[in-house]
A and B are shown apart, each in its own frame.
Chain A
Amino acid sequence: MTYQAKGLQAWFFQRVSGVFIALYILYFLWVFFTTELFTYQLWLTWFSHPLMNAATGLFFIQLVVHAWVGMRDVVLDYMPNNTIRFFSLIVISFILIASSLEILRILFSLSLNA
């Protein structure tokens, strides 16, 4: 039995990434609101920590996966024309890949500061 097609995997990844994103945001908000004075230096130290840096990288990768599945669903549901569907998916994937590469570049530069 092959499950290489995109239905089940997309559905599964969306749920797994949703859980990770929710946990990350809860942790982020907890630290943000329980820290008295959030200076730039503190912020830099926090995100330069290898664990936080890796978790943030993972968070954005999961966010891109989650957004891709969600946006693909919107396109497949609301755009009946195949040509428009195709170009919409190309544009969305380009934006998501470009944003994630930029975020990963920033995180990598932070990790060099550590």
Chain B
Amino acid sequence: MARTSSIQNKMMLLVLIPLLVWLGAFELVPVLRMIAMSFQNNDGQGFTLGQYVKGLTNPLYGKAMLNSLKISFISSVAGLIIALVCSYSITRFTTKLRDRMIMISNMITNFVGVPLAFAYMILLGSNGMLTLIGKELGIRSIAGFDLYSEAGLTLTYIYYQVPMAILLVYPLYNGIREEWKEAAAMLGASVWSFWRHIGIPVLLPGVLGTFSILMANALGAYATAYALTGSNYNLLSIRISALVSGDIFPNFQLGSALAVILAVIMIASLVINEWMASLSRRRGL
């Protein structure tokens, strides 16, 4: 009996080998190489913290970090607010409509990168459909909208943050039980009092967790921003790309250090998410 079980375990490990090879070759080795390179000098030799010092003190990269954080923060907050309202309204639909809305959100979540940038160019580019309509109708805010600016970039970020936020926030509303609302009403609470004292506190850990995922999602975004602004807008992901592939003076070591800094920021977001989730689990939410 024990022998059969041991053979079964070995067979299971055998099945895992392709996955382990894949993870090692395309995840672990590149990450380890990147970390190792981030501690090397520009010639790829020795051990130095110089790349990190440069990454954190150089105004160009400092500004890139700030821009990345700013655009990620604004798009995450806006996306989250829109998703909170939309998800709540989805919970009020019929099951059939609800399933369709979630399916559409799922689909839109994957509509990112160059196709998304192209779609926005068609709509709000210099000769975009909405831009031309705005010009025709004399609506200056639309006619004069610059898609290739920070505002344009924020708009596209919000666009892809919303469906992802809906997918993450929608299940949270299922956790709000109708009996809580009824019990609160029986105890003298208004609808607002219910949300203030019960609904929002119950949702909050999940909402903050969602926010951290959105932040990580936006911080790592590259293709949409690059397709829209090239390297004209200073984002950390674009700077890393320029250092490892696009610059006439590539510096893999500095690029690696910036990538590690970006990864640390994203991991910090995810750690906050896990902490919030464990807080919820402890309270049985």
Partners in one complex: no
A residues sitting closer than 8 Å to B (CB atoms) are: none
